[in-house]
C-alpha cells in the first residue's frame, strides 16, 4: 500500500507525522511524506522519502509574517497562506497517487488532502493533533485568555458555536475555498472548519481521551488515539555542553516559545527578568537567536534545538507557548509546566493542562506575574506531585500512538481500497 502523508506547519505539526511515517514504513508500506524541505534532515533520519513542498525560504518567510501569531488575526493570516499554497500542494499530492493502491493522510492544514479525496474517491484520514480542531458545544474550545463561562447552558453554547461557524470561520474560509473548488470541478461547501475539514472516512484525534474526551457533536468518523511523538535516535545524545551545564548546579528552568516562533523577544526578555529575580539557572531554546536579549548571564544557556525526551526529566519546570507537542513532552517527563499562549490551539491546550492539575497558565511573562505562577511549580505540594506522577504513568502505559494511528489507517485501506467510488461528503 502507498501512504501519502501531507504535513504542514512548524516542527510540532510535522514531527508527529514523521513518527507515523516511520511506523507505516516498518510495516512494509511505501510512504511518501509531503513537507517543507526545512524538515529534510528529520525526514531522512527517519528513513523516509521527502516530497518537497515549496522552499525553506518560503517556510521562514511565512513564519515571519507580522501578525501570524496574533491571537485574533493570526488565523486569517494562516488561511491566506494556505489558499496560496494549496493549488501547488494539490498538484504535488496528485502526482503521488497510484490508483487503487493509495491512502491519503493529512494534517489539519492539509486542505489538499480533502480535495484530492473528493476528486479521486480515495480513502483518506485527517489527523488533528489538537483537541480544539473538533469544534464542540459540549466542550467549547478556549481561544483566548478569557474562556467561555462554565455556567453557560448547552443551548446557548450551540447558538454561539453556530454563529462563530457562520459569521467568523466561514466568513474567512468558505469564499476562497469554494473558488478553488470550482476550478477543480467540485461543488461549494459550507461549515469548512467545523465539518468539511474532517474526513468522512476517518478523522483521528492524536491525543489521549484523558486529555480530551470525544464529545457527542464530534464527527462520526472521529477516533482518539494518543500523542504520536518522534523519538530521538539512540545515537543522538545531548550536545556535550548541555550535560556539563546541567551538572554544574541545581536543575534549571527551561524556556521555549516553539520551533516556529519568530516573534518571541518579549517572551525571552521576560524569561531573563524572571530567572534573574528568582536566582534560577535557565535554558533558553529557540531556533531564532534574534529573539533573545542582547546579553545573557552565565547562568543562562542557549540552544537552538534539544531532544526534549532526554532533556526534560532533568529540568525543574518548563515554561512554553502551549504547543501540543511540547505539552505532551512535559506530561511524559512528569515535570510541571507554565504555559504562556500566543495564538491558535495554545490557549485550549493550556486550559487542559490546568484542568489536569499539572501546570499553570498566564497571559504574560511579566516577571511579577511569572514568579507568582512559577513558585508553586518549583515547590510542588503533594497534590501537584501526585498529578504529575499520575499522568506521566498514563503516558508510559498508553500504547504507542503512532502504532494505533497506523492500525486505523491500515483498517481504512482494507475497507476502501477495493473501491474507487466517490465519497458522499458532508456539504
Mean pLDDT over residues 292-298, rounded? Answer: 91
Residue 424 falls inside a structural domain: no
Do 251 and 368 lie in a common domain? yes
Residue 427 falls inside a structural domain: no
Do 320 and 214 lie in a common domain? no
The structural domain count of the chain equals 2
Residue 215 above 60 pLDDT? yes
Do 103 and 220 lie in a common domain? yes
Do 38 and 187 lie in a common domain? yes
Residue 234 above 70 pLDDT? no
Q: Which residue has the cell 492500525?
A: 407
Residues 6+ apart with CB under 8 A from 96: 2, 4, 32, 34, 51, 102
How confident is the model over 321-333, as pLDDT tens digits?
A: 999 999 999 999 9
Residue 235 falls inside a structural domain: no
Domain that holds residue 320: 241-397
Do 224 and 273 lie in a common domain? no
Q: What is the CATH number of the domain that holds 107?
A: 3.40.50.2000
Do 160 and 262 lie in a common domain? no
Do 283 and 210 lie in a common domain? no
Do 206 and 130 lie in a common domain? yes
Do 51 and 167 lie in a common domain? yes
Average pLDDT, the chain: 90
Q: How confident is the model at residue 421 (pLDDT cuts 50, 70, 90)?
A: very low
- How high is the pLDDT of residue 315? 95
Whole-number percent of the chain with pLDDT over 70: 96
Residue 236 falls inside a structural domain: no
Residue 385 falls inside a structural domain: yes
H/E stretch holding 317: strand 317-320
Do 187 and 308 lie in a common domain? no
How confident is the model over 102-153, as pLDDT tens digits?
A: 999 999 999 999 999 999 999 999 999 999 999 999 998 888 767 777 788 9
Note the pTM of the prediction, 2 decimals.
0.91
How confident is the model over 52-83, as pLDDT tens digits?
A: 999 999 988 888 888 888 878 888 898 999 99
Residue 422 falls inside a structural domain: no
Give 292's strand partners: none
Shortest CA distance to 366 belongs to which of 256, 274, 254, 252?
274
The rounded distance, in Å, linking the Cα atoms of 101 and 106 is: 17
Q: Which of 5-14, 225-234, 371-380, 394-403 has the lowest mean pLDDT?
A: 225-234
Residue 426 above 60 pLDDT? no
Burial pattern 120-134, b for ≥16 Cβ within 10 A else e, equals bebbbbbbbbbbbbb
Do 216 and 346 lie in a common domain? no
Do 327 and 376 lie in a common domain? yes
Amino acid at each position: 500500500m502507498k501512504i501519502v502523508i501531507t504535513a504542514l506547519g512548524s516542527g510540532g505539526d510535522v514531527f508527529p507525522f514523521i513518527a507515523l511515517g516511520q511506523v507505516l514504513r516498518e510495516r512494509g508500506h511505501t510512504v511518501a511524506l509531503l513537507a517543507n524541505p526545512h524538515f529534510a534532515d528529520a525526514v531522512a533520519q527517519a528513513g523516509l522519502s521527502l516530497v518537497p513542498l515549496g522552499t525553506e525560504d518560503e517556510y521562514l518567510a511565512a513564519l515571519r509574517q507580522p501578525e501570524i501569531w496574533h491571537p485574533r488575526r493570526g488565523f486569517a493570516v494562516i488561511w491566506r497562506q494556505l489558499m496560496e499554497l494549496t493549488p501547488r500542494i494539490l498538484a504535488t499530492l496528485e502526482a503521488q497517487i497510484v490508483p487503487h493502491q493509495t491512502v491519503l493522510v493529512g494534517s489539519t492544514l492539509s486542505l489538499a488532502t480533502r480535495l484530492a479525496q473528493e476528486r479521486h474517491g480515495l480513502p483518506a484520514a485527517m489527523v488533528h493533533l489538537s483537541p480544539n480542531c473538533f469544534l464542540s458545544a459540549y466542550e467549547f474550545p478556549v481561544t483566548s485568555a478569557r474562556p467561555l463561562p462554565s455556567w453557560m447552558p448547552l443551548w446557548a453554547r450551540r447558538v454561539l458555536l453556530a454563529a462563530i461557524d457562520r459569521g467568523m470561520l466561514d466568513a474567512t474560509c468558505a469564499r476562497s475555498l469554494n473558488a478553488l473548488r470550482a476550478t477543480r470541478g467540485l461543488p461549494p461547501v459550507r461549515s469548512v472548519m467545523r465539518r468539511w475539514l474532517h474526513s468522512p472516512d476517518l478523522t483521528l484525534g492524536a491525543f489521549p481521551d484523558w486529555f480530551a474526551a470525544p464529545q457527542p457533536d464530534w464527527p462520526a468518523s472521529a477516533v482518539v488515539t494518543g500523542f504520536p511523538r518522534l523519538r530521538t535516535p539512540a545515537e543522538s545524545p545531548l550536545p556535550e555542553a548541555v550535560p556539563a551545564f546541567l551538572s554544574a548546579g541545581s536543575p534549571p528552568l527551561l524556556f521555549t516559545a516553539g520551533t516556529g516562533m519568530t516573534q518571541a523577544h518579549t517572551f525571552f526578555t521576560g524569561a531573563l527578568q524572571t530567572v534573574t529575580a528568582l536566582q534560577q539557572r535557565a535554558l533558553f531554546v529557540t531556533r531564532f537567536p534574534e529573539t533573545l536579549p542582547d546579553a545573557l548571564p552565565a547562568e543562562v544557556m542557549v540552544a537552538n534545538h534539544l531532544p526534549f525526551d532526554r532533556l526534560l526529566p532533568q529540568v525543574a519546570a518548563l515554561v512554553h507557548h502551549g504547543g501540543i507537542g511540547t505539552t505532551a513532552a512535559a506530561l511524559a517527563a512528569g515535570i510541571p509546566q507554565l504555559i504562556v499562549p500566543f495564538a491558535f490551539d495554545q490557549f485550549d491546550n493550556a486550559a487542559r493542562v490546568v484542568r489536569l492539575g499539572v501546570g499553570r497558565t498566564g497571559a504574560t511573562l511579566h516577571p511579577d506575574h511569572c514568579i507568582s505562577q512559577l513558585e508553586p511549580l518549583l515547590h510542588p505540594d503533594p497534590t501537584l506531585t501526585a498529578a504529575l506522577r499520575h499522568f506521566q504513568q498514563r503516558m508510559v502505559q498508553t500504547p504507542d500512538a503512532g502504532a494505533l494511528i497506523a492500525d486505523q489507517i491500515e483498517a481504512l485501506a482494507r475497507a476502501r481500497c477495493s473501491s474507487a467510488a466517490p465519497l458522499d461528503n458532508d456539504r
